[in-house]
Amino acid sequence: MAATRIELWRGEEYEVRDVTGSASTKSYRCPGCQQLIRPAAPHVVAWPVVPSLLTSFTGSGVDERRHWHTHCWKRR
């Protein structure tokens, strides 16, 4: 499993992990451009370090994972 790093988005700290194409079998909607990320396309996954109120009852910020194109995350 790849290591995560901490980056900022909208003033919040997010854990970010690179996803290699071979580990990706589904398509996801990128919040940066609203386009689909194709299966097997390398991309990044980000989730808040501090869970929002919506998910603080159910567990962790991992429930709020979002998949981004790598270039969209860099330009967020």
Report whether 17 contacts 47 (CB < 8 A). Answer: no
Q: Judged by CB, which is closer to Zn ion: 32, or 42?
A: 32
CA 53 – CA 30 distance, rounded (Å): 22
- Can you tell me the distance from the alpha carbon of 37 to that of 1, in angstroms, rounded to the nearest whole number? 21
The residue among 2 and 33 lying less far from Zn ion, judged by its C-beta, is 33
Question: Which positions touch Zn ion (CB under 5 A)?
Answer: 30, 32-33, 69, 72
> Which residue lies nearer to Zn ion by CB, 37 or 48?
37
* Residue 15 C-beta: closest distance to Zn ion, Å: 19
Q: C-beta of 35: minimal distance to Zn ion in Å? A: 5
Minimum CB separation of residue 31 from Zn ion in Å reads 8
- The strand order across the sheet containing 43-48 reads 5-9, 12-19, 43-48, 66-68
